[in-house]
Amino acid sequence: MSSLPQLIGFTEQHGQWFAENVSLQAIANEFGTPCYVYSKKALTHAFSAYDKACYRKDGTRRARVHFAMKANSNLAILNIFSKLGTGFDLVSGGELTRVLAAGGKASDCVFSGVGKSRAEITLALKAGVKCFNVESIPELERINEIAGSLQLKAPISLRVNPDVDAKTHPYISTGLKDNKFGISFGDVIHTYQVAHQMPNIQILGIDCHIGSQILDISPFLDALDRVLSLISELESLGITIHHLDIGGGLGIDYGGDTPPDITYFANTLLDHIESKGFQQLEVIFEPGRSLVGNAGVLLTLVEYLKPGETKNFCIVDAAMNDLMRPSMYEAYHAIVPVQSTHVEPTLYDVVGPVCETGDWLGRDRTLAIQPGDVLAILSAGAYGFSMSSNYNTRPRAAEILVDGSLVHVVRERETFEQLLQGEKTLS
């Protein structure tokens, strides 16, 4: 890839990059680096693109967005989405706690994930989540048991593994039969029949999610057709499905990618469902990356330029612990200087200070830079901070949200003192 992604909320003007009306250089100067910067305008624009498709021409609702918050769980971002009207897709008890702290409602949450613990199930039942997306009979049995002990009925859907190839990176493919996720297509009807007999289970829906960073609509349609056939078969057996959760996974433009337009994508899937005669179903989208990926950048300072025999290295103060995706997935992120300079462009590998050869953020990038410059790593709003760590005892970055000309610190940079909290030496 060599082109820049098409962005909302981040622009280059006369050689300077801005988040809405605020210069990225000014943000770096005031708040330091590494630093995540998000655009409220970009977040709102992406949500609106989905929301347009969620209503029929007569104004009736046909779908709702549940943000897959593993992509970015900052409280300010969750609060923005909650006010816009999203629900949430959770994968842990900690994420449920975050939703509640951000002003969201448990009744607007679906709880996904293959390994829900007893404590998490208990927490979610007591809070009153909308639905559990169940991924195995042992999990179903555990939920039934805990719900009975609490004298509750647990609302559930089953996550179907449709064995559809999403043609994405193997680490983020979730809909093939050799993936750990979901119930095998051939076992779904039997599993629903088992659930139907459980006294503390209430069947609400059916769920399907086939992967992430998918750039083609056809795998979604293939999966939909398989799931819709299951719904018809279940109805014939007297098991009513009230909602269809079609997951997320729509890709974004990292620079040279061509994902479908969000509204076109959502309309295509919803029109397909209705064309098959399933207008009565409540439909749930679970977008993550496509809501937040291009709504954030990571700012990092150029510490050293190190020429080598076969490579030139641009050593920056951000690292794999700040942005894991390049090291973990060999993922591409466009990288730009936030201010243009008049030095000669040179080919660099952009690397961090962590003691791992895998600590790189971009390879073979032509950059006109010098030490002390600030770079913006684009398309970092999804799986950036949320996957960050303290590896090498590095404090996690600050997070900043820009709303027009207003700049909000939505997470303070960690301190060394905070890194040591909770630890004790032997007396």
CATH number of the domain within which 174 lies:
3.20.20.10
Per-residue model confidence (pLDDT) at position 166: 56
The span from the CA of 371 to the CA of 301, in Å, is 8
**Are both 124 and 26 inside the same structural domain?**
no
Same domain? 141 vs 274 = yes
Quote the pLDDT of residue 173: 46
Q: What is the pLDDT of residue 174?
A: 47
- Shared domain check, 299 and 320: yes
Examine residue 184 and state whether it is found in any structural domain, yes or no: yes
- Same domain? For 144 and 283 the reply is yes
Which of the listed residues 246, 272, 287 is the one where a domain comes to its end? 287
- Examine the domain organization and report whether 239 and 261 are in the same domain: yes
- Please count the helices (runs of H) and the strands (runs of E) in the chain: 12, 21
- If one counts the domains in the chain, the total is 2
Same-domain status, 140 and 272: yes
CATH at residue 367:
2.40.37.10
Q: Are residues 338 and 233 in the same domain?
A: no
Q: Does residue 82 form part of some domain?
A: no
**Which residues are part of the catalytic machinery?**
355
Give the end of a domain, one of 255, 287, 319: 287
The one-letter code for the residue type at 162 is: P
34 labeled part of a ligand binding site: no
Task: Indicate whether 121 and 237 sit together in one domain.
Answer: yes
282 lies in the same domain as 297: no
> Does 383 appear as a known binding residue?
yes
Q: Is 286 annotated as a binding residue?
A: yes
**Is the residue at 195 inside a domain?**
yes
In a domain, 64, yes or no: no
CA distance 100 to 75: 10
Looking at the structure, tell me whether residues 178 and 325 fall in a common domain: no
Tell me whether residue 192 is annotated as binding: no
* Inside any domain, residue 342: yes
Return the ∠ at Cα 209 (arms to 208 and 214), rounded to 5°: 140
Which letter does DSSP use for residue 355 in this model? S
Q: What is the pTM of this model?
A: 0.94
Q: What whole-number distance in Å separates Cα of residue 157 and Cα of residue 404?
A: 41
Judge whether 333 lies within some domain. Answer: yes
- The H or E element containing residue 231 is helix 218-236
Q: Which positions ≥6 away from 226 have C-beta within 8 Å?
A: 160, 162, 164, 185
Task: Tell whether 325 is in a known binding site.
Answer: yes
Residue 84 domain flag:
no
Mind listing the pLDDT tens digit of every residue in the chain (427 residues)?
A: 568 999 999 999 999 999 999 999 999 999 999 999 999 999 999 999 999 999 998 999 999 999 999 999 999 999 999 999 999 999 999 999 999 999 999 999 999 999 999 999 999 999 999 999 999 999 999 999 999 999 999 999 999 988 776 554 454 444 445 565 789 989 999 999 999 999 999 999 999 998 889 999 999 999 999 999 999 999 999 999 999 999 999 999 999 899 999 999 999 999 999 999 999 999 999 999 999 999 999 999 999 999 988 999 999 999 999 999 999 999 999 999 999 998 999 999 999 999 999 999 999 999 999 999 999 999 999 999 999 999 999 999 999 999 999 999 999 999 999 999 999 999 8
In this structure, are 278 and 152 located in the same domain?
Answer: yes
Instruction: Establish if 48 belongs to a structural domain.
Output: no
**Where do we find the tokens 């200087």?**
337
**Residue 427's pLDDT is what?**
84
What H or E segment, with its residue span, contains residue 42? helix 40-53
Final residue before a domain boundary, out of 287, 309, 342: 287
- In which domain, by residue range, is 141 found? 112-287
Q: Say whether both 369 and 267 belong to one domain.
A: no
Cis peptide leading into 260, omega within 30 of 0? Answer: no
Q: What is the DSSP string of 141-196?
A: HHHHHHHHHTT--EEEEEEEE------S-GGGB-SSTTSSSSEEGGGHHHHHHHHH
145 annotated ligand-binding residue: no
